[in-house]
Amino acid sequence: MHRSKIEELAQNNERLEFLGDAILGSIVAEYLFKKYPSQPEGYLTEIRSRIVRRETLNNVALRMGLNKLVQYNQNDRGLSRSHIFGNALEALIGAVYLDKGFARTRTFILKQVIKPYIDLEHIESTDINYKNQLLSWAQKLGYTLSFDTLEEKTEGARKIFSVGIILNGELIVAGNGYNKKEAGQVAAQKALEKLKIS
């Protein structure tokens, strides 16, 4: 139950989502630690962040069919395009943990989430952190680059952020998202395309 359907804390999935996020992060960390015994901490951190990021979890949740189970305000068009299904997956993990304990939750995550839906080879080979790519490019060339919040507005029950990329004092692109980090990534992806940086 998403908060757009019911605001009462005891009946929406936000607290379970918080718990599931923490459990998922620790199990993915342990999984990667064992799978890549010779990789340094920075590498493990990056791969873990790619697995547990909102877009990845939302994609997994959609493939699992969680979108058919989540109750939310369907009149709010933006919600179906947001990450509420990935959030619901985290809530499901939190619920499994409360009902079955850590060991069973670990088995659930490894067998029902990671093995069938996470392609580690693909995750390793793609650099999807557009912001880091753009910052590295600017640093190499000695350019001044910043990410500035241009606007915060409320649409339905959600806040929408607009983040602009300022290159050498000039606004080159802007991106929108449901949080500043997401808006920054959208803007960075647009900037990479506009500046033809690969």
Q: Which residues are catalytic?
A: 21, 90
**Residue 11 to residue 161: CA distance in whole angstroms:** 27
**Close Cβ partners of 109 (under 8 Å, ≥ 6 residues apart):** 23, 24, 27, 28, 93
Residue type at 189? Answer: Q
Pick from 158, 174, 133: nearest CA to 79 = 158
Q: 3-class secondary structure for 10-37? A: CCCCHHHHHHHHHHHHHHHHHHHHHHCC
